[in-house]
Amino acid sequence: MLIDLLPVSLKKYFQMSKRQRKHEVQSAIWYMPLFYISMSIVFVAATLTLDLIVELDQQTYEFFRISGDITRMLVSTLIGGILTLSAFTLNSLLVVLTTFSGQFSPRMLLNFISDRRTQHALGIFNGSFVYVLLVFLFIGNKTKEAYVAVPIITVALAFIAAVTFIYFINHATTWMQVHNITETMKQSSESIINKTLSEELEAYRTEEPGDLMEDERDREKGLDSVKSGYLQIVNYKSMIEEARKDNIIIKFHSQVGDYILEGNQMLSYWGPGANQVDETKYCRMVEIGHKETELQDIQMGMHKLAEIAIKSLGNDDPKTASDTIFRMAELMLTVEDYITFTPYLKDNEGQVRVILLSESFEYYIYRGFGYIRHYARDNHLIITELISALAMVAESIDTSKHDRIWEFACNTLDHIEQEIIYNLDKVFLLNAVKKLADLTNHQFDYNAIERRFYPEKI
């Protein structure tokens, strides 16, 4: 009942799961400043207790005692100083966010805001300002002749705020450097793979489907989405356990990151216990929201990296596009190392309980490089870098994936018009293709590509 009285901006946090609420709160810009403001109130109480109740000035050397008039003047002066630093910090933050949105990707704004260093800096400024403001409020009309704790802690906070301002400017300018941006995006995606997907999915994956209860398949039942939005999080562990108890098999018709409409079939189930299934409990295991999240969606991280490359192409910045391509190649190795490309999830008894939409390494190759090659179009230098990146992936990856990499590269070359490419561009492009062909054992296919670019040699 009390939740209904809250504004929508706060009510939404109580409607989320614990995991998603933690992620959303930590990504909000108000979370860390609120913590520092709370701590500053505690410091105010402790400081005033030392000076007004314990009378610390009577128990210390005269060197540490500051007269009441000077203390009040000091605190009142530092209120404006700390507020000015806070204003400059917020202005710098807005400049950074505007730059990110215009030159890179609007989806990167959350990454900078949710960065711990950014939030700690904002928290220190807000906490320091609230501290000096409250202290001035309580000592402004006091006739006490000397203070110890108030001036010492106030000066210390002003010093910390000044250092933090320099640190924040350095942090913002460093974060905006291209290699740091792409590295941050790559690490974010790797974290999803290593921690989230590896723990929540890989422990239950099996390559052998086993008994899929096909004799019960003709009585398959569907479960529709209760609202429209992005499929954000699936509690696979609970779903597998409940499916085991109900003795059913669940098949997903959408995957995390997909947008579905209310009434669209989200999943279906069949099995001996299908008639006694409580569908509402399975609905609660699937979270649908108005935006995409990175908690279980590695594709979103790939899209961010791809958008950086695409924006850089539009801004005539090929070096940024090249750097992004190689970061994407590094991410492909993580995908191959930690993701088993099988849709079957089993319970602790070895029985398949959940069937996901089928994914393949080719699918992730397309998601990673497909958008980039589309917008690169006739930019032969970027296409050459892309082929070189694929060659590096092929050199480090299992040979079972070589055919897929070669097919993607050949399909990329099919859309290059041989008549308008510069001679040196052609030479370096074919060198990259030759290296990829040698690594993937497609030398014969390379000869056909070379003849296409040099028909006069036929």
Q: How far is CA 145 from CA 49, 137, 141, 153, 403, in A?
A: 16, 17, 12, 18, 83
Q: Tell me, what amino acid is at 36?
A: Y
Triad 229, 235, 241: Cα angle to 5°: 140
| 308-332 pLDDT per residue, tens | 888 888 778 888 888 889 888 888 8
Beta bridge partners of 221: 269
For residues 173 and 136, the answer to whether their CB atoms sit within 8 Å is no
* pLDDT attached to residue 16: 63
Banded pLDDT at 265 (limits 50, 70, 90): very high
Average pLDDT, the chain: 82
Mean pLDDT value of segment 83-96: 80
* pLDDT attached to residue 266: 92
What are the structure tokens assigned to 395, written together? 């050199």
Rounded to whole angstroms, how far apart are CA atoms 1 and 184?
Answer: 42
For residues 49 and 96, the answer to whether their CB atoms sit within 8 Å is no
Is a pLDDT exceeding 70 seen at residue 7? no
| 180-214 pLDDT per residue, tens | 777 777 777 777 766 666 677 777 888 888 888 88
* pLDDT attached to residue 391: 94
pTM of the predicted protein model? 0.74
For residues 114 and 191, the answer to whether their CB atoms sit within 8 Å is no
Banded pLDDT at 457 (limits 50, 70, 90): low
Burial class (CB in 10 A: 0-12, 13-18, 19+), 111: buried
* pLDDT attached to residue 38: 92
Nearest in space to 437 (alpha carbons), one of 427, 421, 448, 423: 448
* pLDDT attached to residue 296: 74
